[in-house]
Chains A and B, each alone.
Chain A
Amino acid sequence: MPPSLRSTLTRLVPGLTSVASVASAGAGELTASIEIPQLNVAEYHRPYVAVWIETPKRAFAANVAVKYDVEMADNEGETWLKDLRQWWRKSGRELDLPLDGVSGPTLPVGTHDITVATSAPALSELPAGNYVLVVEASREVGGRELVRVPFAWGANQSVEASAAGKSELGNITLRISQP
């Protein structure tokens, strides 16, 4: 896990939840494995990617990560966050960005693991039940894709579920391990 993801949650937006990206030893972990495919296009920019959890009725439940141009001056990178259309609507536009533990830099081509502790407030407070991990990717001068991975969440329940994108995203795997 890159250092940029190791910051702890310092701010909770009222009414919204986010996940601190620190998994302490012995705690349960939720890992979203995300494949950013190699694309043969004339102009390639790394995609913006949002990862969140929602209910089967598509109500927002928790943020896992949002990857965008966090390093640009004057928060210029936030200009294109609206292109993560669903995430922007469900959560992003309500947030004071950048959000510690959630905001992070864009991902290069390859497979990346985003890991959070199941003890993090946003996750530990989720009632047991069915959920969907949603991964949305949007590429400047490119396409957009959304992949949903349904899963069941409950105490002492390990999860392995996956789905695959067709264009902007490759394989998406969700693993939840219990302590």
Chain B
Amino acid sequence: MKRSRSTLLAAALTFGAFCVPFSHAHRQWLLPSTTVLSGEGQWVSVEGAVSNNLFFPNHRPIRLESIAVADPDGEPVEIQNAIAGEIRSSFELQLNKPGTYALSIVSSGRRRGPGGMGGGDTLFGSWDDNGQPQRWRGTPESLVTEGMAAKPGFKLQERGGRRLVTFVTCGSPTTKVLEPTGEGFDIEFLTHPNDLYFGEAATFRLLVDGQPATEGEMTVVAGNDRFRNDPGEAIFTADKDGIVTVNWPAPGRYWIEASVSSHGEAHGVPSEKTSTYILILEVLPE
């Protein structure tokens, strides 16, 4: 199942001036210099940024303090030679154990997240003005004083959990760092994320609190969009078991955003809570 996101993207860009929590205008990423390594004591260099192009820094750096690295045993690893720049951060890692390392940024909803998206008490909402989608931003107080609850189709957009993860493997791939947490929105890697090849489908199971998320989807964008007129987003939806199957259009580096939304109520009005999981993956030629 593929469909174009261009209209949504255009809308997101139009409203990009004030950041909406699910904005696609800026993309957050961590990019390892390489993801498949051989030998011992190898180094990888990692860049991190929030940018308009993949994978080119042009907007904001990733906050280094938000980055956590787990070694193949799940033990924390110190990042080295860290540099916090104006438009990108970078650091290096030495891979002293064979196996798969996870590099991640995790934020639970409501907090000011990495890249400065969203924020403290700000509420975001949307409503329908005779077929024209309208955006609203305010506070719990202005929600009441502006009478937003009475607007047609009004709902708040709440930010759920956000995760950004990439992996590097030295030697044989291992799975300790892939284990789903069982809490919030998570991904079960049915194909190892450092064993992806052009011509082979990759499968992922989307989970919410450990259960298959059948309503979830994954947006896949290839790197180097700066050199394409059409960024070429492809959306893959989960099946009844929460499984998403991705066929890579070409070898290369990919930025993937998985998301699930749940509908509930907040501040006395309907709300939609969206949790996201961003993956940066490398797909090798055969």
Contacts and interface: CB of A to CB of B under 8 A. Distances in A.
19 contacts: A74-B40, A74-B41, A75-B39, A75-B40, A78-B40, A79-B37, A79-B42, A80-B39, A81-B38, A81-B39, A82-B38, A85-B286, A88-B36, A89-B195, A89-B197, A92-B38, A93-B173, A94-B172, A146-B286
Interface string A84-98: 011011001110000
Interface of B: 36-42, 171-173, 195, 197, 284-286
A92 B41 CA distance: 17
B285 A82 contact: no
B38 A93 contact: yes
Contacts of B172: 93-94
Nearest to B42: A79
Contacts of A88: 36, 38
A43 interface: no
Given A79-B42, A89-B195, 5 more contacts: A75-B40, A81-B38, A89-B197, A92-B38, A93-B171
A85 B37 CA distance: 10
Contacts of B39: 75-76, 78-81
Interface residues of A, number: 16
B284 A85 contact: yes
A81 B170 CA distance: 11
A86 B40 CA distance: 20
B257 to A, nearest CB: 27
Dominant SS among interface residues on chain A: helix
Dominant SS among interface residues on chain B: loop
Nearest to B169: A93
Contacts of A146: 286
Among all A-B residue pairs, the 10 with the closest Cβ atoms: A79-B39, A78-B39, A82-B38, A81-B38, A93-B172, A93-B171, A82-B36, A78-B38, A94-B172, A82-B37
Contacts of A93: 38, 171-173
Nearest to B40: A75
Tell me which of B38, B40, B41, B172 has the highest count of chain A C-beta atoms within 10 A of its own C-beta. Answer: B38
A94 B172 CA distance: 6
A146 B38 CA distance: 19
Contacts of B195: 89
Contact of B285 (A74, A76, A85, A92): A85
Nearest to B197: A89
Nearest to A146: B286
A96 B99 CA distance: 14
Contacts of B40: 74-75, 78
Contacts of B285: 85
Contacts of A81: 38-39
Tell me which of B36, B37, B39, B195 has the highest count of chain A C-beta atoms within 10 A of its own C-beta. Answer: B39
Tell me which of A78, A79, A82, A86 has the highest count of chain B C-beta atoms within 10 A of its own C-beta. Answer: A82
Interface string A49-79: 0000000000000000000000000111011
A86 B197 CA distance: 10
Given A93-B171, A93-B172, A79 B284 contact: no
Nearest to A85: B284
Nearest to B195: A89
B38 to A, nearest CB: 4
Contacts of A80: 38-39
Contacts of A94: 172
A74 B39 CA distance: 9
A86 B42 contact: no
A56 B172 CA distance: 24
A58 to B, nearest CB: 10
Nearest to A58: B286
Given A79-B42, A93-B171, A94-B172, A86 B36 contact: no
A59 to B, nearest CB: 14
B286 A86 contact: yes
B192 to A, nearest CB: 11
Contacts of A92: 38
A136 B283 CA distance: 19
A20 B286 CA distance: 28
Contacts of B36: 82, 88
A57 B37 CA distance: 26
